[in-house]
Amino acid sequence: MMTEQTIQEGKTLAIVSYLTFVGLIIAIIMNLEKKNPFTFFHVRQMLGLIIMLIFSNIVEAYVNSWLGTSFWIITFVCWLFGLFYAAKGEARPIPVIGEKFQEWFKNIN
Q: pLDDT (tens digit, 9 = 90+) per residue, 20-39? A: 899 999 999 999 988 999 99
Distance from C-alpha of 37 to C-alpha of 14, rounded to nearest angstrom: 10
Instruction: Note the pLDDT of residue 2.
Output: 82
Instruction: Please say whether the beta carbons of 66 and 21 come within 8 A.
Output: no
What are the backbone dihedrals phi and psi of residue 25, each rounded to the nearest 5 degrees, phi first? -65, -45
How does pLDDT run across 37-61, given as a tens digit for each residue? 999 999 999 999 999 999 999 999 9
Instruction: Note the pLDDT of residue 104.
Output: 94
Distance from C-alpha of 22 to C-alpha of 18, rounded to nearest angstrom: 9
**Residues present in the chain in total:** 109
The domain ranges of the chain are 4-105
Q: Say which DSSP state 35 is in.
A: -
Q: Which of 49, 30, 41 is nearest to 6 (CA)?
A: 41
Instruction: Please say whether the beta carbons of 36 and 86 come within 8 A.
Output: no
> Would you call 47 helix, strand, or coil by DSSP?
helix
